[in-house]
Amino acid sequence: MTSRPTTVSADLELRLVVPGSASLPVLASIRYVLDDPYAVHVTFHTGGERGTVDWSFARQLLTDGLTQATGEGDVRVWPSHLGGHATVFLSLSSPSGQAVFEVGLHELAEYLTQSYTLVPTGCESDFVDIDAELALLLWTDSE
């Protein structure tokens, strides 16, 4: 008997957009897990002092960004065609700064397709333990 996978992950090569200079390659590990069905988790391998930077955001945001500009606030996503290549831009903002990355549209779409094979659109709530989530929200440390 084979068990159903609980994670879809991939390593993607992104390009960090550097104004006035050539873009820089950045490896990112992207992960979709069954027990957090609304989110995608991305670890950027910076090679810097911290080594990695983690972000989580809605899977639907990435999906919508394949065809139209979407997002507001800290995460924005939009499609583009640069030099005849279909790409997606991902803009991330935090108190530490802002970064804009580009990733191949087809690579990202293939990854998202795999995640929707694991949990189809509209079925995300089937994988959320509402009682456990409410317990976490209502829990207080009485000590």
Question: Can you give the pTM of this predicted structure?
Answer: 0.81
Residues 107-116: pLDDT tens digits? Answer: 999 999 999 9
Q: What is the DSSP letter of 48?
A: S
**Within a domain: 2:** no
The mean pLDDT of the chain is 87
**Cα–Cα nearest to 12, from 120, 113, 105:** 105
Q: What is the mean pLDDT of residues 99-118?
A: 94
Judge whether residue 122 has pLDDT over 70. Answer: no
pLDDT in tens, 28-54: 999 999 888 889 999 999 876 778 999
CB < 8 Å & 24+ apart, contacts of 39-42: 40/115
Q: Does residue 63 belong to any structural domain of this protein?
A: yes
Helix (H) or strand (E) holding 61: helix 59-65
Q: How many domains does the chain have?
A: 1
User: In the predicted model, what is the mean pLDDT of residues 111-134?
Assistant: 74
Cα–Cα distance, 54 to 76 (Å, whole number): 16
Is 85 inside a domain boundary?
Answer: yes
Task: State the residue range of the domain holding 129.
Answer: 7-138
Per-residue pLDDT tens digits for 47-77: 767 789 999 999 999 999 999 999 998 999 9
Task: Report in angstroms the alpha-carbon separations of 61 from 11, 15, 66, 74.
Answer: 19, 19, 9, 12
| CATH assignment at residue 22 | 2.30.31.20
